[in-house]
Protein backbone atom coordinates (compact mmCIF):
# COMPACT_ATOMS: atom_id res chain seq x y z
CA UNK A 1 0.00 0.00 0.00
CA UNK A 2 1.29 3.45 -0.94
CA UNK A 3 1.69 6.42 1.35
CA UNK A 4 -0.08 9.74 1.49
CA UNK A 5 1.89 12.99 1.42
CA UNK A 6 1.80 13.35 5.22
CA UNK A 7 2.85 9.77 5.83
CA UNK A 8 5.70 9.96 3.34
CA UNK A 9 7.16 13.29 4.45
CA UNK A 10 6.91 12.61 8.18
CA UNK A 11 8.58 9.24 7.69
CA UNK A 12 11.43 10.99 5.88
CA UNK A 13 11.81 13.66 8.55
CA UNK A 14 11.77 11.05 11.31
CA UNK A 15 14.29 8.82 9.51
CA UNK A 16 11.84 5.93 9.24
CA UNK A 17 10.96 3.66 6.34
CA UNK A 18 7.25 4.27 6.82
CA UNK A 19 4.71 5.54 9.32
CA UNK A 20 0.98 5.07 9.85
CA UNK A 21 -1.76 7.47 10.99
CA UNK A 22 -1.78 7.87 14.74
CA UNK A 23 1.93 7.12 15.10
CA UNK A 24 4.04 9.59 17.08
CA UNK A 25 7.27 10.70 15.45
CA UNK A 26 10.10 12.92 16.63
CA UNK A 27 11.28 15.49 14.10
CA UNK A 28 13.25 18.69 13.63
CA UNK A 29 11.48 21.39 11.60
CA UNK A 30 13.21 22.97 8.63
CA UNK A 31 11.58 26.26 9.61
CA UNK A 32 10.00 27.31 12.91
CA UNK A 33 7.84 30.41 12.47
CA UNK A 34 6.69 32.80 15.18
CA UNK A 35 5.46 36.40 15.24
CA UNK A 36 4.47 38.89 17.94
CA UNK A 37 3.92 35.91 20.24
CA UNK A 38 7.68 35.32 20.29
CA UNK A 39 7.79 37.44 23.45
CA UNK A 40 5.67 35.09 25.59
CA UNK A 41 7.31 32.10 23.88
CA UNK A 42 10.73 33.40 24.92
CA UNK A 43 9.42 33.62 28.49
CA UNK A 44 8.38 29.96 28.40
CA UNK A 45 11.75 29.08 26.86
CA UNK A 46 13.61 30.71 29.75
CA UNK A 47 11.46 28.85 32.29
CA UNK A 48 12.68 25.58 30.77
CA UNK A 49 16.10 26.51 32.10
CA UNK A 50 18.02 26.41 28.82
CA UNK A 51 20.29 29.34 28.12
CA UNK A 52 20.66 29.17 24.34
CA UNK A 53 18.30 28.39 21.46
CA UNK A 54 19.36 25.00 20.11
CA UNK A 55 19.05 25.82 16.40
CA UNK A 56 18.79 29.59 15.76
CA UNK A 57 19.05 28.89 12.01
CA UNK A 58 15.62 27.22 11.79
CA UNK A 59 13.73 30.06 13.49
CA UNK A 60 11.96 32.74 11.50
CA UNK A 61 10.46 35.64 13.47
CA UNK A 62 8.16 38.18 11.82
CA UNK A 63 6.46 41.09 13.58
CA UNK A 64 3.02 41.49 12.02
CA UNK A 65 0.05 41.20 14.39
CA UNK A 66 0.14 44.72 15.83
CA UNK A 67 2.42 46.70 13.55
CA UNK A 68 3.26 49.49 13.90
CA UNK A 69 2.63 49.12 17.63
CA UNK A 70 -0.78 50.66 18.51
CA UNK A 71 -0.13 50.75 22.27
CA UNK A 72 2.75 50.92 24.71
CA UNK A 73 2.06 47.30 25.65
CA UNK A 74 2.51 46.19 22.04
CA UNK A 75 5.64 48.32 21.66
CA UNK A 76 7.12 46.77 24.79
CA UNK A 77 6.31 43.32 23.41
CA UNK A 78 8.20 44.15 20.21
CA UNK A 79 11.16 45.42 22.21
CA UNK A 80 11.39 42.14 24.10
CA UNK A 81 11.41 40.24 20.80
CA UNK A 82 14.11 42.42 19.23
CA UNK A 83 16.34 41.91 22.24
CA UNK A 84 15.67 38.16 22.30
CA UNK A 85 16.50 37.49 18.64
CA UNK A 86 19.64 39.62 18.89
CA UNK A 87 20.79 37.83 22.04
CA UNK A 88 20.05 34.36 20.62
CA UNK A 89 21.55 34.95 17.20
CA UNK A 90 18.30 34.44 15.29
CA UNK A 91 19.19 36.09 11.99
CA UNK A 92 15.90 35.49 10.16
CA UNK A 93 14.09 38.35 11.88
CA UNK A 94 11.72 40.64 9.98
CA UNK A 95 10.69 43.78 11.78
CA UNK A 96 7.62 46.01 11.56
CA UNK A 97 6.51 46.70 8.00
CA UNK A 98 7.88 43.62 6.23
CA UNK A 99 4.45 42.03 6.21
CA UNK A 100 2.27 39.15 7.37
CA UNK A 101 4.38 36.22 8.56
CA UNK A 102 2.93 33.62 6.16
CA UNK A 103 3.47 35.85 3.15
CA UNK A 104 6.98 36.78 4.29
CA UNK A 105 7.84 33.11 4.88
CA UNK A 106 6.99 32.40 1.24
CA UNK A 107 8.62 35.48 -0.27
CA UNK A 108 11.81 34.92 1.69
CA UNK A 109 12.14 31.35 0.43
CA UNK A 110 11.41 29.34 3.58
CA UNK A 111 8.18 27.70 2.30
CA UNK A 112 9.58 25.01 0.03
CA UNK A 113 8.46 21.65 -1.37
CA UNK A 114 9.31 18.74 0.89
CA UNK A 115 10.10 20.96 3.89
CA UNK A 116 8.68 20.68 7.40
CA UNK A 117 7.36 24.05 8.56
CA UNK A 118 5.92 24.52 12.04
CA UNK A 119 4.58 27.83 13.29
CA UNK A 120 3.02 29.24 16.43
CA UNK A 121 0.12 30.54 14.35
CA UNK A 122 -2.92 28.58 13.22
CA UNK A 123 -2.59 29.65 9.59
CA UNK A 124 0.88 28.20 9.14
CA UNK A 125 -0.67 25.59 6.76
CA UNK A 126 -0.46 28.36 4.11
CA UNK A 127 3.00 27.05 3.20
CA UNK A 128 1.37 23.81 2.10
CA UNK A 129 0.56 25.57 -1.18
CA UNK A 130 4.24 25.04 -2.01
CA UNK A 131 4.24 21.36 -1.14
CA UNK A 132 5.56 21.75 2.40
CA UNK A 133 4.15 19.96 5.43
CA UNK A 134 3.15 23.08 7.35
CA UNK A 135 1.24 23.04 10.61
CA UNK A 136 0.37 25.30 13.50
CA UNK A 137 1.60 24.48 17.00
CA UNK A 138 1.23 26.01 20.46
CA UNK A 139 3.51 28.44 22.24
CA UNK A 140 4.85 25.82 24.65
CA UNK A 141 5.66 23.55 21.72
CA UNK A 142 7.56 26.35 20.01
CA UNK A 143 9.47 27.03 23.22
CA UNK A 144 10.38 23.32 23.31
CA UNK A 145 11.69 23.57 19.73
CA UNK A 146 13.78 26.55 20.80
CA UNK A 147 15.21 24.49 23.64
CA UNK A 148 15.73 21.16 21.87
CA UNK A 149 15.20 21.69 18.11
CA UNK A 150 12.89 18.66 18.31
CA UNK A 151 9.15 18.03 18.62
CA UNK A 152 6.74 15.13 18.68
CA UNK A 153 4.09 15.04 15.98
CA UNK A 154 1.18 12.67 15.51
CA UNK A 155 0.90 11.40 11.95
CA UNK A 156 -2.48 12.63 10.69
CA UNK A 157 -5.07 10.76 8.69
CA UNK A 158 -5.38 12.16 5.17
CA UNK A 159 -8.33 13.62 3.30
CA UNK A 160 -8.15 13.93 -0.48
CA UNK A 161 -10.11 16.64 -2.28
CA UNK A 162 -10.22 16.47 -6.07
CA UNK A 163 -11.43 19.50 -8.03
CA UNK A 164 -12.54 18.77 -11.60
CA UNK A 165 -12.82 21.39 -14.31
CA UNK A 166 -12.13 25.10 -13.94
CA UNK A 167 -13.67 27.84 -11.85
CA UNK A 168 -16.06 30.12 -13.77
CA UNK A 169 -15.20 33.76 -14.39
CA UNK A 170 -15.78 35.86 -11.28
CA UNK A 171 -15.30 32.86 -8.97
CA UNK A 172 -12.05 32.68 -7.00
CA UNK A 173 -10.09 30.19 -4.94
CA UNK A 174 -11.56 31.92 -1.87
CA UNK A 175 -15.01 30.84 -3.03
CA UNK A 176 -13.75 27.31 -3.63
CA UNK A 177 -12.18 27.01 -0.18
CA UNK A 178 -15.18 28.52 1.60
CA UNK A 179 -17.48 26.21 -0.34
CA UNK A 180 -15.53 23.21 0.92
CA UNK A 181 -15.58 24.49 4.51
CA UNK A 182 -19.31 25.12 4.34
CA UNK A 183 -19.85 21.67 2.84
CA UNK A 184 -17.66 19.75 5.29
CA UNK A 185 -18.08 21.87 8.42
CA UNK A 186 -15.60 23.44 10.84
CA UNK A 187 -14.47 19.98 11.95
CA UNK A 188 -14.61 18.37 8.52
CA UNK A 189 -10.86 17.90 8.37
CA UNK A 190 -10.13 17.65 12.08
CA UNK A 191 -6.42 16.86 12.59
CA UNK A 192 -6.21 15.62 9.03
CA UNK A 193 -3.76 16.29 6.23
CA UNK A 194 -5.96 17.75 3.48
CA UNK A 195 -4.56 17.16 0.00
CA UNK A 196 -5.93 19.20 -2.92
CA UNK A 197 -5.72 17.65 -6.38
CA UNK A 198 -7.26 17.98 -9.84
CA UNK A 199 -7.22 20.30 -12.82
CA UNK A 200 -9.26 22.89 -10.93
CA UNK A 201 -6.34 23.38 -8.55
CA UNK A 202 -3.65 23.02 -11.21
CA UNK A 203 -5.26 25.87 -13.18
CA UNK A 204 -4.74 28.32 -10.31
CA UNK A 205 -1.71 30.61 -10.10
CA UNK A 206 0.53 30.45 -7.05
CA UNK A 207 -1.13 33.29 -5.16
CA UNK A 208 -4.59 31.83 -5.65
CA UNK A 209 -3.33 28.46 -4.42
CA UNK A 210 -2.05 29.96 -1.17
CA UNK A 211 -5.63 30.81 -0.19
CA UNK A 212 -6.67 27.16 -0.01
CA UNK A 213 -4.33 25.64 2.63
CA UNK A 214 -4.53 28.94 4.53
CA UNK A 215 -8.25 28.33 5.03
CA UNK A 216 -7.87 24.64 5.87
CA UNK A 217 -7.23 25.73 9.45
CA UNK A 218 -10.91 26.70 9.48
CA UNK A 219 -11.85 23.11 8.64
CA UNK A 220 -9.86 21.83 11.60
CA UNK A 221 -7.02 20.46 9.45
CA UNK A 222 -3.50 19.80 10.69
CA UNK A 223 -2.11 20.85 7.33
CA UNK A 224 -3.09 21.47 3.73
CA UNK A 225 -1.13 20.35 0.68
CA UNK A 226 -1.04 21.12 -3.03
CA UNK A 227 1.35 19.04 -5.17
CA UNK A 228 4.23 21.18 -6.49
CA UNK A 229 4.37 21.65 -10.26
CA UNK A 230 5.88 24.07 -12.79
CA UNK A 231 3.76 26.90 -11.39
CA UNK A 232 5.30 26.27 -7.96
CA UNK A 233 8.85 25.97 -9.23
CA UNK A 234 8.59 29.10 -11.37
CA UNK A 235 7.35 31.13 -8.41
CA UNK A 236 10.18 29.84 -6.20
CA UNK A 237 12.91 30.55 -8.73
CA UNK A 238 15.39 32.96 -7.15
CA UNK A 239 13.65 32.73 -3.76
CA UNK A 240 14.50 29.31 -2.35
CA UNK A 241 17.00 29.53 0.51
CA UNK A 242 18.03 25.91 0.33
CA UNK A 243 17.89 22.91 -2.00
CA UNK A 244 14.60 21.04 -1.84
CA UNK A 245 13.08 17.81 -3.03
CA UNK A 246 9.30 17.69 -3.66
CA UNK A 247 7.34 14.95 -1.95
CA UNK A 248 4.28 13.47 -3.64
CA UNK A 249 1.70 10.97 -2.40
CA UNK A 250 1.71 7.53 -3.99
CA UNK A 251 -1.03 6.77 -6.53
CA UNK A 252 -2.26 3.87 -4.38
CA UNK A 253 -2.21 5.76 -1.07
CA UNK A 254 -5.12 5.09 1.29
CA UNK A 255 -7.23 8.06 2.39
CA UNK A 256 -9.73 8.42 5.20
CA UNK A 257 -12.05 10.04 2.63
CA UNK A 258 -11.99 11.25 -0.97
CA UNK A 259 -14.19 14.22 -1.87
CA UNK A 260 -14.78 15.45 -5.39
CA UNK A 261 -16.00 18.88 -6.52
CA UNK A 262 -17.00 20.24 -9.90
CA UNK A 263 -15.25 23.61 -10.18
CA UNK A 264 -17.77 24.73 -12.78
CA UNK A 265 -20.57 24.41 -10.22
CA UNK A 266 -18.87 26.65 -7.63
CA UNK A 267 -20.41 30.13 -7.31
CA UNK A 268 -19.47 33.26 -5.34
CA UNK A 269 -20.11 32.65 -1.64
CA UNK A 270 -19.68 34.37 1.71
CA UNK A 271 -19.15 33.10 5.24
CA UNK A 272 -21.87 34.71 7.35
CA UNK A 273 -21.45 35.73 11.01
CA UNK A 274 -20.21 34.26 13.27
CA UNK A 275 -18.53 31.09 12.01
CA UNK A 276 -16.45 30.35 8.92
CA UNK A 277 -18.52 27.28 8.03
CA UNK A 278 -21.72 29.36 7.97
CA UNK A 279 -21.35 29.61 4.20
CA UNK A 280 -24.07 30.78 1.83
CA UNK A 281 -24.25 31.74 -1.85
CA UNK A 282 -23.66 35.47 -2.26
CA UNK A 283 -26.97 35.76 -4.08
CA UNK A 284 -28.81 34.81 -0.89
CA UNK A 285 -27.34 37.69 1.15
CA UNK A 286 -26.85 40.25 -1.63
CA UNK A 287 -28.13 43.66 -0.56
CA UNK A 288 -26.97 43.32 3.06
CA UNK A 289 -25.80 46.76 4.22
CA UNK A 290 -22.11 47.14 5.12
CA UNK A 291 -20.18 49.83 6.99
CA UNK A 292 -16.65 48.62 6.34
CA UNK A 293 -14.80 46.66 3.68
CA UNK A 294 -11.37 45.20 4.45
CA UNK A 295 -8.99 44.01 1.75
CA UNK A 296 -5.84 42.29 2.99
CA UNK A 297 -4.50 39.59 5.39
CA UNK A 298 -2.57 36.35 4.85
CA UNK A 299 -5.57 35.01 2.95
CA UNK A 300 -6.14 37.69 0.31
CA UNK A 301 -3.63 40.53 0.61
CA UNK A 302 -1.42 39.49 -2.29
CA UNK A 303 -0.77 41.34 -5.53
CA UNK A 304 -3.32 39.40 -7.57
CA UNK A 305 -5.95 40.14 -4.92
CA UNK A 306 -5.19 43.85 -5.04
CA UNK A 307 -5.20 43.70 -8.84
CA UNK A 308 -8.69 42.23 -9.07
CA UNK A 309 -10.01 44.72 -6.51
CA UNK A 310 -8.38 47.64 -8.32
CA UNK A 311 -10.02 46.54 -11.58
CA UNK A 312 -13.42 46.75 -9.88
CA UNK A 313 -12.67 50.13 -8.25
CA UNK A 314 -11.15 51.81 -11.30
CA UNK A 315 -13.13 54.98 -12.07
CA UNK A 316 -15.55 54.37 -9.20
CA UNK A 317 -15.95 55.70 -5.66
CA UNK A 318 -16.49 54.00 -2.33
CA UNK A 319 -20.09 54.48 -1.18
CA UNK A 320 -20.76 57.36 1.26
CA UNK A 321 -20.54 56.16 4.85
CA UNK A 322 -18.46 53.09 3.95
CA UNK A 323 -14.79 52.67 4.85
CA UNK A 324 -12.54 50.64 2.58
CA UNK A 325 -9.32 49.56 4.33
CA UNK A 326 -6.56 48.18 2.11
CA UNK A 327 -3.50 46.50 3.65
CA UNK A 328 -0.97 44.78 1.34
CA UNK A 329 0.27 41.48 2.73
CA UNK A 330 3.92 42.51 2.53
CA UNK A 331 6.31 45.29 1.61
CA UNK A 332 7.04 43.39 -1.61
CA UNK A 333 3.34 43.40 -2.49
CA UNK A 334 3.07 47.05 -1.47
CA UNK A 335 5.86 48.12 -3.84
CA UNK A 336 4.52 46.00 -6.70
CA UNK A 337 1.03 47.47 -6.22
CA UNK A 338 2.56 50.94 -6.15
CA UNK A 339 4.40 50.31 -9.42
CA UNK A 340 1.25 48.87 -11.01
CA UNK A 341 -0.82 51.91 -10.05
CA UNK A 342 -3.22 49.95 -7.84
CA UNK A 343 -2.58 52.08 -4.78
CA UNK A 344 -3.45 55.23 -6.71
CA UNK A 345 -6.67 53.57 -7.85
CA UNK A 346 -7.54 52.72 -4.24
CA UNK A 347 -6.84 56.24 -2.95
CA UNK A 348 -8.75 57.87 -5.80
CA UNK A 349 -11.68 55.59 -5.02
CA UNK A 350 -11.67 56.79 -1.40
CA UNK A 351 -9.89 53.87 0.24
CA UNK A 352 -7.41 54.04 3.13
CA UNK A 353 -4.09 52.24 2.61
CA UNK A 354 -2.20 51.00 5.66
CA UNK A 355 1.25 49.51 6.20
CA UNK A 356 1.81 45.76 5.63
CA UNK A 357 0.67 43.57 8.51
CA UNK A 358 -2.39 41.89 9.95
CA UNK A 359 -4.26 45.12 10.68
CA UNK A 360 -7.84 44.69 11.95
CA UNK A 361 -7.92 40.94 11.22
CA UNK A 362 -6.98 40.34 14.86
CA UNK A 363 -8.91 43.37 16.09
CA UNK A 364 -5.81 45.23 17.22
CA UNK A 365 -6.03 48.40 15.15
CA UNK A 366 -6.24 49.99 11.67
CA UNK A 367 -9.95 49.46 11.09
CA UNK A 368 -11.81 48.05 14.07
CA UNK A 369 -15.59 48.27 13.49
CA UNK A 370 -17.94 50.09 15.85
CA UNK A 371 -20.74 48.39 17.77
CA UNK A 372 -23.60 47.40 15.51
CA UNK A 373 -21.54 47.76 12.34
CA UNK A 374 -21.19 45.21 9.55
CA UNK A 375 -17.88 44.49 7.84
CA UNK A 376 -17.03 42.41 4.80
CA UNK A 377 -13.49 41.12 4.83
CA UNK A 378 -11.07 39.02 2.78
CA UNK A 379 -9.71 37.50 6.01
CA UNK A 380 -10.09 33.91 7.20
CA UNK A 381 -12.07 34.29 10.43
CA UNK A 382 -15.31 35.98 11.39
CA UNK A 383 -15.83 34.83 14.99
CA UNK A 384 -17.69 37.18 17.28
CA UNK A 385 -15.23 39.87 18.35
CA UNK A 386 -12.53 38.68 15.95
CA UNK A 387 -12.10 42.18 14.48
CA UNK A 388 -12.10 43.72 17.95
CA UNK A 389 -15.80 44.38 18.56
CA UNK A 390 -18.15 41.68 19.84
CA UNK A 391 -21.22 43.70 18.92
CA UNK A 392 -20.37 43.75 15.21
CA UNK A 393 -20.81 41.33 12.30
CA UNK A 394 -18.16 40.12 9.87
CA UNK A 395 -18.78 38.51 6.48
CA UNK A 396 -15.91 36.78 4.68
CA UNK A 397 -15.68 37.06 0.90
CA UNK A 398 -13.35 37.27 -2.08
CA UNK A 399 -11.49 40.46 -3.06
CA UNK A 400 -13.95 40.90 -5.94
CA UNK A 401 -16.93 40.93 -3.59
CA UNK A 402 -15.20 43.14 -1.01
CA UNK A 403 -14.32 45.74 -3.66
CA UNK A 404 -17.77 45.71 -5.25
CA UNK A 405 -19.50 45.88 -1.87
CA UNK A 406 -17.43 48.91 -0.90
CA UNK A 407 -18.75 50.69 -3.99
CA UNK A 408 -22.37 49.64 -3.53
CA UNK A 409 -22.51 49.94 0.26
CA UNK A 410 -24.00 46.46 0.39
CA UNK A 411 -22.95 42.90 -0.34
CA UNK A 412 -22.77 42.47 -4.10
CA UNK A 413 -20.72 40.85 -6.86
CA UNK A 414 -19.00 43.16 -9.37
CA UNK A 415 -20.98 41.52 -12.16
CA UNK A 416 -24.10 43.04 -10.57
CA UNK A 417 -22.80 46.58 -10.11
Q: Does domain 1-14+154-234+249-267 have CATH number 3.30.70.380?
A: no
**DSSP assignment, residue 369?**
P
d(CA 19, CA 3): 9
Overall CATH class of domain 270-416: alpha beta
Cα gap 322→324, rounded to integer Å: 7
pLDDT at 344: 98
Instruction: Please report, for residues 64, 174, 298, 345, 390, the alpha-carbon distance to residue 210 in angstroms, rounded to integers and kept in the order given.
Output: 18, 10, 9, 25, 29
Q: Where are the alpha helices (DSSP H) in 155-259?
A: 173-184, 199-202, 206-216, 230-236
Q: Which residues have a Cβ under 8 Å from the Cβ of 262 and sit 6 or more positions away?
A: 164, 165
- Asked whether the beta carbons of 25 and 12 are under 8 A apart, the reply is no
Q: How high is the pLDDT of residue 1?
A: 81
Pick 29-149's CATH classification: 3.30.499.10, 3.30.450.20, 3.40.50.970, 2.10.109.10: 3.30.499.10
pTM: 0.96
Amino acid 209: pLDDT = 98
For the chain, which residues score pLDDT lower than 70? none
Name the residue among 120, 144, 142 with its Cα closest to residue 50: 144
- Report, in angstroms and rounded to the nearest whole number, the Rg of the chain calculated over CA atoms: 21
In the chain, domain spans: 1-14+154-234+249-267, 29-149, 270-416
**pLDDT tens digits, 35-63:** 999 999 999 999 999 999 999 999 999 99
Residue 341, pLDDT score: 98
Amino acid sequence: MGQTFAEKILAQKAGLAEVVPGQIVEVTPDAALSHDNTAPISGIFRKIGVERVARPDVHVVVLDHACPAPTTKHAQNHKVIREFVADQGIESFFDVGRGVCHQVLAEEGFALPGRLVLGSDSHTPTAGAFGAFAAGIGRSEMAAIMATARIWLRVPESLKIVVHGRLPEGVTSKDLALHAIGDQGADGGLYQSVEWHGEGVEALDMEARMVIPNLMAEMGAKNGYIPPDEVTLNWLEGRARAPFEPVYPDPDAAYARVIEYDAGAIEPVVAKPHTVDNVAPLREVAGTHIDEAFLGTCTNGRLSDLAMAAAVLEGRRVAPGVRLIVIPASSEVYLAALDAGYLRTFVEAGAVIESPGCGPCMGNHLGVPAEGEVAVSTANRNFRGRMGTKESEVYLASPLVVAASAIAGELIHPQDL
